[in-house]
Amino acid sequence: MQNKSYLKIFIALTLMVLSFTSQATIILNLGIIHKKALSASEGHILVSEVHEIKELENGESFFVTMKNGVGVEFKAFFVQNLNDYGPSPLIALTGKIYNSQGNILKSITENDFTIPLDSEKVLVFDDKAGQEVIIKIVPRLL
């Protein structure tokens, strides 16, 4: 009789552990490059880079800021297909890109930034003041 209670406890613990590990986590390998023209006549350009790896749940948002004030704010989520089971092979990002003055350089919608897993997508945004922001993202599953 006692063996049955141990078996029930073991099965309950196993199911509980499996429920925690069944959540799909998005891993974003993110690179942001900011280029600013110092003197256009002489061709001097100041380049700043930041690279981060973000571990996110579906629908979680994050903010990355560089030392010079350029930043990106994104929300990552799976693009669900009703015919597929499990996590989708497509990741969508929405958010905003800020220039060094804190102004919104670009708002990103789901249609602009849908990425298949394990592939790189690059977006380039520039303003008329000689600043350029390049964003490289590679999504993976944990």
Given this model, what pLDDT does residue 63 score? 92
> What are the per-10-residue average pLDDT scores of the chain (142 residues)?
76 71 79 82 82 90 88 88 78 86 82 85 82 88 82
Q: Could you give phi then psi for residue 15, rounded to 5 degrees?
A: -65, -35
pTM for the whole thing?
Answer: 0.74
Q: Give CA–CA dist 88/66, Å, rounded.
A: 31
Q: Give CA–CA dist 92/80, Å, rounded.
A: 10
Q: Give CA–CA dist 86/55, Å, rounded.
A: 18
